[in-house]
Amino acid sequence: MASPKHPAGSPTERRRMTPWKQVTRLDVFYQDDAPPERVGGLVVDRHGGVHFQYAASWLETTRELSPYHLPLEKGLAVIPAPDRRHLHGLHGVFADSLPDHWGMQVMDRALRRHGIDPRQAGPLDRLAYLGNRTMGALTYRPAARWPRIAARATTLDLLATQSDLLHEGTVDVTAPEAALDALEHAAGSAGGAQPKVLIATDSRGTRLMAGIEPRRGDIVYLLKFTPRRSGLGLRADCGPIEQAYACMARDAGIRMPMTRLFRTSDGRLHFAAERFDRTANGGRRHVHTLGGLLGREAAGDGDYDELLRFARALTADARALEEVVRRLCFNLAVLNDDDHLKNVAFLLDPTSGWQLAPAYDLTYMPSHGGERGMTVDGRERAVTWDDVERLAARQSITPARVREMRAAIDACLDRWAAYAEEAGVPGTAITELADAFAARRRALGS
């Protein structure tokens, strides 16, 4: 007999739901290479609004973790979150600690398993659930005692199976508790819509560890699962395609973390990128997405002109401006039209200050309606190289320099088939994307 399955949130599950007292106060801590330091406190008022106040000791550090919406000049003022309807009702920098669609799915299932209705969970409940299992350098205390998600060693095959079921909207009620615990622990605060987990290998990359805490010296990856079949916005060959894109991007001069593919026993190849918010000695780095900086949702309005101005103001580094333009050229050429506000971030280094974070989420994601994730000098669709050159010129990047970037990208696209074959992209997809690249090249102009 087939294993019984119930949709998440079905009456079978809802019967077990019980109310509980919401978290209304949390302390925010920052940790890079030094011991954790208290940044301040979050509190929920009786109307559900979230407020933040800096700790006096943090103000003395002069480090601004969110310079536009939470500047240190606010002092000891109590600062309300800008809008309860967006960013989970949080300030952008704290909303960056929470996952997006996939991570929320995993979190909701964890709550249901422990008899908690996810609809009752407020933003501070969810931050407390993560505690120190966050991306970046911000952590939250006291971590919630519910639910107790155990760190359990597991296999990539088991994580892939449970991720498939959850992504497809089913719950395997016969799954062992250890398997569910492992997925919920490994998912952490992974964002985006695609199923993903955090895994680690030893320093040689030979011993895979999933579902448990990494040790000092381990290489920690964010792994995206390739679905067992196309659908729900994902392709069954998305892992190899993203690996081919990563190799092309590096050869085109774009700064990327180390990436690789992991294979499961069913032959699927899953894309993984080394986490850039962790250091080899176990330190953490503060990461702030462009959306969080601006206080906007991923799908909110954003323009590359705005990104360039923020990159100049934060980093004061001309190389960061060139990197933004190079990524724009690459995204346009390879049909990565989903380059939204959360697909670019800035990283705070404790010694050198703000930097543009390495590129991520570079993959084949054409817009069927022609709209881009971020507009280009006000243009939402039908962008041309003339638009890019005009945008770059405002940051003193000459048309000749833009053409040099384009030439490096074109040289990589001319070798697309070799990159794709090396990554294991199916032959039909190699041809499909080659045709798409050619059509996009014509549309962009000379």
pLDDT in tens, 146-172: 666 666 778 899 899 989 888 888 766
Lowest mean pLDDT among 21-35, 142-156, 357-371, 399-413: 142-156
**Model confidence at 2: pLDDT above 60:** no
Mean of the pLDDT values across residues 190-209? 81
Cβ proximity of 392 and 325 under 8 Å: yes
How large is the average pLDDT for residues 101-107? 89
Question: Residue 15's pLDDT band (boundaries 50, 70, 90)?
Answer: very low
Please determine, for residue 17, whether its predicted confidence score (pLDDT) is greater than 90. no
Average pLDDT over residues 116-121: 88
pLDDT at 22 over 80: yes
Asked if residue 387 lies in contact with residue 443, where contact means CB atoms within 8 angstroms, the answer is no
Instruction: Quote the CA–CA distance of 305 and 319 in Å, as a whole number.
Output: 16
Q: Which of 294, 404, 316, 387 is nearest to 70 (CA)?
A: 294
Q: Which residues contact 52 (CB under 8 A, 6 or more apart)?
A: 28, 40, 41, 42, 43, 70, 78, 79, 81, 91, 94
**Least confident interval from 187-191, 205-209, 252-256:** 187-191
How high is the pLDDT of residue 304? 97
Q: Please list the residues that pair with 274 across neighbouring strands.
A: 221
CA 364 vs. chain centroid, Å, equals 16
Residue 9 reports pLDDT greater than 60: no
Residue 372 has pLDDT above 80, yes or no: yes
So what's the pLDDT on residue 211?
Answer: 67
Q: Cα dihedral sign for 321, 322, 327, 333?
A: positive
Q: What pTM does this model have?
A: 0.92
CA distance 76 to 352: 27
- Candidates 134, 241, 143, 239; CA nearest to 190 is 134
**Residue predicted with more confidence, 59 or 11:** 59
pLDDT value at position 100?
A: 86
Q: State how far the alpha carbon of 253 is from the alpha carbons of 5, 248, 409, 411, 437, in Å.
A: 48, 9, 9, 12, 19
Q: Name residue 317's amino acid.
A: D
Structure tokens at 132: 């120190």
β-strand partners of 348: 286, 354
Q: What is the structure's pLDDT at 407?
A: 98
Parallel, antiparallel or unpaired: strands 219-224 and 286-289: unpaired
**Average pLDDT of the chain?**
89
The yes-or-no verdict on residue 356 having pLDDT over 60 is yes
Vertex 220: Cα angle to 320 and 353 (nearest 5): 30
Token pair 């205390």: residue: 141
Whole-number pLDDT of residue 437: 98
Other C-beta atoms closer than 10 Å to the C-beta of 220 total 17
311 has a pLDDT exceeding 70: yes
Region 263-288 average pLDDT = 94
**∠ at Cα 93 (355, 366), nearest 5°?**
70
- Identify the pLDDT of residue 16: 55
Tell me the two tokens of residue 443. Answer: 């549309």
Is 31 a residue whose pLDDT tops 50?
A: yes
What's residue 4's pLDDT?
39
Instruction: Inform me whether the pLDDT recorded for 276 exceeds 60.
Output: yes
pLDDT band at 19 (very low <50, low <70, confident <90, very high): low
Taking every pair of C-alpha atoms in the chain, what is the biggest distance, in angstroms?
68
Q: In this predicted structure, what is the pLDDT of residue 150?
A: 64
What is the average per-residue pLDDT within 392-417? 97
Q: At 424, which amino acid appears? A: G
Question: Which region among 4-8, 241-245, 302-306, 324-328 has the lowest average model confidence (pLDDT)?
Answer: 4-8
Handedness of CA 197, 33, 204, 207 (dihedral sign): negative
pLDDT(56) > 60 = yes
Q: Which of 217-231, 239-253, 333-347 has the least mean pLDDT?
A: 217-231
